[in-house]
């Protein structure tokens, strides 16, 4: 499984915070597109000479929805504590309750916008004819 070229997320209006509608043909794509949506919301703008970086993330969760939110919060944590921004995601292994992935981006970059957390608000991963979709809400 690898990152896709086609962007499959959309920012939707939210009065107080930020929200994303995300689609994917399978769960791995849903995770990748959600991550891409998060990076888009974070507004990272690395300098031309910024140092590239790659990290491995792995996490477990009791269900798919928790996995999705935990995945996004893991990305936020990595970004904030390392002062890094990411723009590429590769899912290396995905099980119903676990994911391992490689994220790539740049060091010494602050995102353009601070996000406190991905929330569980109205969280339902829905199966459609094309795959999966979900609406995610972020506290800013």
Rounded to the nearest 10 degrees, how much is the dihedral formed by the CA atoms of 140, 31, 71, 61? 130
Residues 13-42 that bind other proteins (CB under 8 A): 13-16, 18
Residue 111 as a binder of other proteins (CB under 8 A): the answer is yes
Residue 84 CA, distance from chain mean position = 14
Contacts of 16 (CB under 8 A, 6+ apart): none
Residue 100 as a binder of other proteins (CB under 8 A): the answer is no
Contacts of 128 (CB under 8 A, 6+ apart): none
Can you tell me which of 57, 123, 131, 135 binds other proteins, judged by CB under 8 A? 123
Residue 5 C-beta: closest distance to other proteins, Å: 25
Q: Which spans of this chain sit near other proteins (rule: CB under 8 A)?
A: 11, 13-16, 18, 43, 62, 66, 69-70, 73, 77, 80-81, 83, 110-114, 116-117, 119-121, 123, 137, 139-140
């Amino acid at each position: 499984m690898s990152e896709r070229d086609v962007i499959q997320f959309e920012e939707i209006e939210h009065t107080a915070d930020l929200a994303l509608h995300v689609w994917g043909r399978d769960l791995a794509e849903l995770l990748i597109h959600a991550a891409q949506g998060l990076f888009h919301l974070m507004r990272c703008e690395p300098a031309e000479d910024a140092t590239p970086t790659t990290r491995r993330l792995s996490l477990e969760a009791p269900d798919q929805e928790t996995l999705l939110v935990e995945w996004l919060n893991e990305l936020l944590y990595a970004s904030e504590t390392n002062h890094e921004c990411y723009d590429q995601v590769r899912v290396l292994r995905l099980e119903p309750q676990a994911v391992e992935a490689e994220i790539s981006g740049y060091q010494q970059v602050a995102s353009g916008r601070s996000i406190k957390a991905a929330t569980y608000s109205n969280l339902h991963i829905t199966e459609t004819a094309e795959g999966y979709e979900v609406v995610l809400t972020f506290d800013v």
